[in-house]
Amino acid sequence: MFKRVSLIISSLLLSIILLGYIFRLPLVQWAITPQLEKAGITLSCLDFSVTAQLNVHADKVCLTYQNQQLELIDITVNTKQVIVEHAVLSINPLPKSNQSSSAAKKLALALPEKRPLIAIKQLVIKSNDFNKPLKINLAEPILNQFNITGDINAKAILANNKLTGQFSVDDSLLKQLINTENTAVAGISFSTQQVFSFDGIELQLNGDVNAQFEYAMEQCRLEALANGRLIIGFNLNSKLVELDSSLLNNKLNLTPTCSSLVPPSDYADFIAEQTPLNWQIKLPKVISITNNHLTLPMLNIISEGDNQFEITLMESELNFTNLWADFKSMLAVSISTPDIKNIELNAEFKNNTLKGNYTVALNSLPDFIASTSSNKISANKVNASGQFNLINIVDGKPSGNATSRLTAAKVDFAQLSVDQYEGRLTAQLDDALNAQITLKTLFKTLKYNEFKLTDISNTITAKANLTHGELFADLSANTVINKFNSPVIKLNNIKVASTGLQSRALKASHHVFVNDIELAVNHHISAVEHPFEIVVPTQSIVLLNTFIHQFEPLAQLTQGTFNGRISGDVNLQHASFAMELNNVSALYNDYLASDLSSQFVGEYNSGQLNVKPTTFNLNELRAGVVIKNIKGNWQVKNNNARIFDIAGALFDGEFSLDKYSLNDLQQVANVKFKNIDGSKLITLDEQSGITLSGRFAGTLPVHFNNTGIEVVNGSLSNQGTGKLMITNNAAFDSVMQQQQELQPVLGLLKNLDIQKLNSSVALKSDGWLKLGVNLQGYNKQAEQQVNFNYNHEENIFTLLRALRLSDEITQKVEQQYSQKGN
């Protein structure tokens, strides 16, 4: 009976074991898989058997956790060891649904006191981010103590609440992880030894780093060096990474050939000379990264050598997913080199706003600026400063304002020299992209060749809307020049108010005052033409005295008006003009011209001035004698001005001049007289006691030369009969008393009917007049014919100044000025 029962039980157990082995996989799927799934692990393949030594052997085990796949191949498990001959770990991107998992917890492992030791003879780690797969070996010589060898060398100790250990990495691992082919990485030398600890939430790394990276860009090679201690902390829950890099010594070295990165230009050599080749980089004590957000308290970059550069980033924050969303930083730059006295820049970017200030100080201009043209430019004590405040510079519509100031003690360029230059620039931009730029320029003096300007102030403002496809700018400007001096002319108190429109060409209008003379100027500048128009409104001609006095100090305009219009093209050097003079009176020494009127037109072409023949009318000319109703013509031909066909009334007779050229030093002008009233001629000197009646005519060839004015071979003769009366003439009576023998002859002249009078006239340049007189007549009282020859010399200039009319002119001018309040 016992045998039968034993046989039945044995058969039953054998059947159960046989059924369990046959149905081992379904049993595992039923018993183990649900438990793994609770931990988020998916078991996709499992096949095991029991060996003769009662070891469990699995050909393959496939596990998936959060899209990470692990394959274990050729596994042997017994009571002492779990041996995995080969394993492959494939690291893939986390699925989006799992990227925000539940919070991690502190390690609280119920580690068994006894279990089989684990050994993985080869673990291959694959990732698309790796250049080559990593291969490591894992051994557990002592329970919960692991040794890792291969591409990574590490030791780890697993406790109930912490994983600790250390590992070392060299450049061979980096070369496997990073694909340097077809990149700028020319060489890598890297080694680190790190002590780590992990408690389930926080990972801490603390160790030494020695790294050298070389980058090649065209002919330039950059070498980055870092050595020292690096401390890293990572929190799984807050995703906070903190780096303490304050104990790292970082350097950046460039080869001299890096200057080839600067595009060829006039300033390439200057930049190469100023840019240091060796730099030190100082990192802060704490750099933190959390949720793709970088916080950098300070980054300091300092140059080594004579060229002193210091770049400091402070309080920087950066979001990797959206670079500008939360970006903020403060920048400070300081530069000092043998060519640059000082450059300071301070800027802050925060809340999509950039603001800051800068200063630049140079003893002189850099060579690339000074040598940009054939004429070298130089400037001393150059200083620039400014501030800026820009809003919404990344997204939206930018707006803001900026100001800058540039000064220089002296600037020289070709024949141009400037003392005490100052430029002030302000710029504004609103959210509708309406821009306004104002530049104010000040000069103490400006010299160009023989021209000198003093106390110059210019303010120009440009307004434009930047939303248009084509830029249109409204321009306005105001210019004030205190003095303008040249060898030819001096001007004072120059004021110009300008408006304009800049598009494809410039259209501008200017309201100009020069010594209170008013002008209106319009012009249009394009690539091919520069037409202009100058309008001279009707204004007092007295305003021209400041110009005239510079050429003729004795000349004075006393009344009248002038106006005109000039138009032409600057590029073509051509202009046409029309001018008008009305009721103009002028004084020159003792000469007074009254009521001159003329309208004339002309043109200027390639340096040649021409005025068409034009009539003029002059009511009266007082020059010791009075000439009235003067009419004539004048013109300018190829810069040569002349008057011609002049006629007027003189001594109740007629006066004429054939021609006179203002530019010819050697010329002859023929002056003719006819129908001159002798009574008016002789009574120029009312104290003479001599009266003359009758009409006379004459010709005076006036010669102009380098020495002055002369009359050569002039003549004077009578027209019809006349009469000579001499009474109470002291000089005449004295001659008769002194020369008794002449009394009979001279007495005949006291009451003489003139039948014929001929006189030769000669005038020297010094004013001495010589008259050779032949007088023929009849004395009725003596009933005797008279033939009288007489030579007379007198300085006509002295005579004219002594005439009564000189006082009249002076009184008239004084009266004119007293009325005008000048």
DSSP states of 507-545: EEEEEEEETTEEEEEEEEE-SS--EEEEEEEEEEGGGGH
Q: Which residues contact 617 (CB under 8 A, 6 or more apart)?
A: 595, 596, 597, 598, 630, 631
Q: How far apart are CA 276 and CA 278, in angstroms?
A: 6
Are 454 and 490 in contact by the 8 Å Cβ rule? The answer is: no
Q: Which residue has the tokens 């020292």?
A: 228
pLDDT of residue 10: 40
pLDDT more than 90, % of the chain = 24
Q: Single out the residue of 427, 344, 429 nearest to residue 393, CA to CA.
A: 429
Per-residue exposure over 666-705, b if at least 16 CB sit within 10 Å of its own CB, e if not: eeebebebebbbbbbbbeeeeebebebbbbbbbbbbbbbe
pTM score: 0.68
Q: Which residues contact 379 (CB under 8 A, 6 or more apart)?
A: 362, 364, 365, 408, 409, 410, 411, 412
CA angle 227, 233, 236 (to 5 degrees): 145
pLDDT of residue 262: 75
Per-residue HEC secondary structure of 69-127 comes to EEEEEEEEECCCEEEEEEEEEEECCCCHHHCCCCCCCCCCCCCCCCCCEEEEEEEEEEE
Domain limits, the chain: 29-94+106-160, 180-259+273-338, 368-498, 665-795
Q: How far apart are CA 415 and CA 14, in angstroms?
A: 118
pLDDT digits 0-9 by tens, 542-593? 998 888 888 788 888 999 999 999 998 888 888 999 999 999 999 887 778 8
pLDDT digits 0-9 by tens, 761-785? 898 888 888 888 888 999 888 888 9
Q: How far apart are CA 797 and CA 624, in angstroms?
A: 9
pLDDT of residue 26: 53
**SS3 state of residue 131:** coil
DSSP string, 546-593: HHHHHH-TTEEEEEEEEEEEEEEETTTTEEEEEEEEEEEEEEETTEEE
Which residue ranges in the chain fall short of pLDDT 50? 1-25, 27, 30-31, 100, 684, 803-822
At 535, which amino acid appears?
V
Give whole-number Cα distances, 216 to 187, 223, 253, in Å: 9, 9, 12
Which residues are 164's β-sheet partners? 157, 197
Half-sphere exposure of 282 (CA within 13 A, CB side): 10
Are 148 and 137 in contact by the 8 Å Cβ rule? The answer is: yes
